Amino acid sequence: MPTKLLFLGDSNFCRMLRTIQRRQSKRTSNGKYFLDLAVGGQTILKLLRRAKCIPKTCSPWFCGDIVERHIVIMIGTNDILHKTSPSQLKSQYSHLFRFLLSLNPKGIQICTIPPCKNFESVNEINHYIRRFCAEKQINCTDIEAIVNRNMMEGDGIHLNEQGLEAVWNAVATNYNNILNPLHNLIISKTDH
C-alpha cells in the first residue's frame, strides 16, 4: 500500500501499523505509543486538537502535505469506554469529520468502530458513521461488519492479531477500490 495513507485513530490503528506493517512506533511525552495520528488512548476531541495542528506546523505527529494524503480514520473506542454520551459523540464526530474535509485531502475513508464493550453505544455510533458517510459520499469501511468478538483481545477493547489483519485487509481493499473502480468492476464481471 502506498505511503500516501495517513492513519488517524487510537491504539487499534497504532497496533495494526506495528503488527501488520511492521512500522516502528514512537512515544509521546506522556508515554503513549503513536504512529501517524494513531495514538494509544486517544479520544475524538484529542484527535481533533492534534489534527488542527496539521495545517499550521510540521509537528512530531505529522509532516507532509495533507492534500497529497488519503486519510483513514477509526476513532471512538476510548470515548465509549469513558462513557461519553452518544449525542456528544455524534457532535464530536461531526466536528472532526467536517474539519478533516475542510483540509481537502486526496481522499477520506472513515471506519466504523469494532464491537467493544458497551455494545449498544457502538451500534448507535456506527449507524451514525454509516449515515454521515452516505450523506457526504465518503468511503465507509464497515469494521463492525467484519470484526467479531473472537477477533478482540480479552479486554474487549483491543483487536487481536486476527482482528488487526481483518481491519488492514478491509482498509486496503477499500483503498484499492477507490483507486481502481473500473478495474474492480471488470474483475467482478469476469468472476461470474
pTM of the model: 0.82
Provide CB contacts within 8 A for 61, sequence distance 6+: 34, 36, 37, 50, 53, 54
Distance CA 56, CA 110 (A): 23
* Calpha distance 148→114 (Å, rounded): 8
Chain segment 120-171, per-residue pLDDT in tens: 788 999 999 999 999 999 999 999 999 998 999 988 889 999 999 999 999 9
Selection from 75, 137, 69, 135 nearest residue 107 by Cα: 69
pLDDT-derived band at 56 (thresholds 50, 70, 90) equals low
User: What is the per-residue pLDDT across 162-186, written as a single tens digit (0 to 9) for each?
Assistant: 999 999 999 989 888 766 655 444 4
- Residue 121 lies in domain: 5-190
> If you average pLDDT over every residue of the chain, what do you get?
82
* CATH number reported for the structural domain that contains residue 143 in this entry: 3.40.50.1110
Query: How many domains are there within the chain?
Result: 1
Task: Please state, in angstroms and rounded to a whole number, the distance separating the CA atoms of residues 167 and 13.
Answer: 9
Q: Provide the pLDDT for residue 37.
A: 82
